Amino acid sequence: MANQTESEQYAFNAFANLPFYGSINSEFIELANIYDKKSIVDLGCGTGNITKLILQKLQIAKDSVIYAVDSSKSALVTAAQEVENNSIVKFIHSEVQNLTDAVKEKADAMIYCNSIHYVPDKDKLLSEIRNKLNTNGVLAFNSSFYEGSHPEESLDFYKKWMFRSFRLLKKDHDLKPDKSAKVSSREQLTPEDYIVLLEKIGYKVEYIKAKSYQVPIDGFHYISEFKDWIEGVLPGVPLEIGKSTLQKALKEIFNEMKLATVPRNWLSVRAVKV
């Protein structure tokens, strides 16, 4: 639509509303076990699906508060519309790297879902998060962008999907991705790297676990209309062309490989400030 911004038009919420994604995060929030906490920060809250999960289970007290932080204004607008019963939620427009300024008080828990891969300097960020946690405060994060998130049996699919996308891009639009436009910040760590880093900074890692989930074609279809994904896999390509090309290639490859789903690993971590 003409009067939508790019971030609104190529948004995350269609993907975020898929049932398979909901169950992954629901399981993760269960594991994070933060329901008795009074002040919780939802870092990189996006369109509010995690905020909603936290709210559903939180034992709400008079002074409970959830700070939902995101750098995308349009995601926050959607989140504010989607999160019902949001009187205890404070939406904050900020980069997570500016946490010290963005959230004034210390929190009992920080939830950081599916976003840690955006931040290049994880050491600095995890230290800043620790500074903003009360003693015994919990940091829980999950990610499917870490070193080890692609099971061996999924590699052929990604290779074929990307190769077909590049071919269609050339054939239909005479375009190719511009490697110089590649987003540089998507650095991925191994689970062991995370343990070493967290312990060095002053957390006790209580739980770190990778689990494989089956991603349906809808997952890849809708992630292909998310700005950040398109820019990550087809840098420099206009978003509308990137989206339609990825979706067309996806359909062809799923059919040719006779796939029903593709496995992907999610890492879940619960660490406590010591």
Edge-first strand order for the sheet with 107-113 is 89-93, 65-70, 39-43, 107-113, 133-143, 261-273, 203-216
In the numeric block, which tokens belong to residue 212?
A: 């494989």
114 near ligand SAM, judged by CB under 6 A: yes
CB of 230 to ligand SAM, least distance (A): 13
Q: Could you say whether residue 78 binds ligand SAM (CB under 6 A)?
A: no
With CA atoms as reference, report the closest residue to 220 among 6, 4, 15. 15
Question: How many CB atoms are closer than 10 A to CB 266?
Answer: 22
Binding to ligand SAM (CB under 6 A) within 119-138 occurs at 119
C-alpha–C-alpha distance, residues 39 and 133, integer Å: 10
Considering beta carbons, is residue 10 or 166 the nearer one to ligand SAM? 10
Count other Cβ atoms within 10 Å, centred on residue 163.
Answer: 12
Looking at beta carbons only, is 37 or 117 nearer to ligand SAM? 117
Nearest distance, CB of residue 25 and ligand SAM, angstroms: 6
Binding-site string for ligand SAM from residue 12 to residue 31, where x marks contact by CB under 6 A and - marks none: x---x--------x------
Residue 239 near residue 105 (C-beta atoms within 8 A) = no
* Residues 262 and 20: beta-carbon distance below 8 Å: no
* Stretch binding ligand SAM (CB under 6 A), from 94-102, 194-202, 237-245, 255-263: 94-102
Q: How far is the CB of 159 from ligand SAM (least distance, A)?
A: 23
With respect to ligand SAM, which residue has the nearer C-beta, 129 or 175? Answer: 129
Q: Does 95 bind ligand SAM (CB under 6 A)?
A: yes
Shortest distance in whole angstroms from residue 46 CB to ligand SAM: 3
Q: Is 75 in the site for ligand SAM (CB under 6 A)?
A: yes
Does 143 contact ligand SAM by CB under 6 A?
Answer: no
Residue nearest to ligand SAM (CB): 46
Q: Exposure string (b/e) for 144-156, b if CB count within 10 Å is 16 or more? A: bbbeebbeeebee
Place of tokens 């406590």: 272
- Give the C-alpha separation, 153 to 165, whole Å: 20
103 in contact with ligand SAM (CB under 6 A): no
Binding interface with ligand SAM (CB under 6 A): 12, 16, 25, 44-46, 49-50, 70-72, 75, 95-97, 113-115, 118-119
